[in-house]
Amino acid sequence: MIRCARIAVLPVELNSGTHQVSVANRIDGTHLAANISARDIGYWQLTSPRQRSIGAGMGIGGAVGAIGGLIVGGAAGAAVPNSDVPDQWEYQQECHYYDDYDYCW
């Protein structure tokens, strides 16, 4: 005698925001599969070569702009004459904190 036990419960419908998808389950031997088609959750839209090239151009332009900005900014920062020799005084306030009081001089 073969005994069956429930091991899982699967929903018949899935809600994703405004979309509701019906799930038809099928068992192939030892595999459980769900039959969901693309038309239930999306749609096909015609695009022109111009639309695709505009999108690609925006991506390429953004990448070139970011890399160019890094190279130009780094060059500008490196062009400013800098030295590790101290040449200016800056006041550093020294404070100590005890309980609720600050002691600064």
pLDDT of the residue at 71: 86
Classify residue 14: in a domain, yes or no: yes
pLDDT of the residue at 98: 78
Classify residue 17: in a domain, yes or no: yes
The string of pLDDT tens digits covering residues 7-52 is 777 777 777 677 676 777 777 777 777 666 655 556 678 888 898 8
More confident call, 4 vs 53: 53
What's the pLDDT band for 94 if we cut at 50, 70, 90? confident
The whole-chain average pLDDT of the chain stands at: 78
Overall pTM surpassing 0.85 (yes/no): no
Beta bridge partners, 33, equal: 26
Classify residue 24: in a domain, yes or no: yes
How many folded domains does the chain comprise?
A: 1
Tokens standing for residue 94? 């020294």
More confident call, 63 vs 42: 63
Classify residue 43: in a domain, yes or no: no
d(CA 77, CA 71): 10
- Output b/e per residue, 72-95; b: 16+ Cβ within 10 A: eeeeeeeeeeeeeeeeeeeeeeee
Classify residue 81: in a domain, yes or no: no
Q: Which residues span the domain enclosing 16?
A: 10-38
End-to-end CA distance of the chain: 90
Classify residue 26: in a domain, yes or no: yes
Classify residue 27: in a domain, yes or no: yes
The string of pLDDT tens digits covering residues 65-78 is 999 999 898 888 88
HSE toward the beta carbon, residue 8, CA cutoff 13 A:
5
pLDDT of the residue at 37: 61
Classify residue 86: in a domain, yes or no: no
Cβ 34 vs Cβ 24: under 8 Å = yes
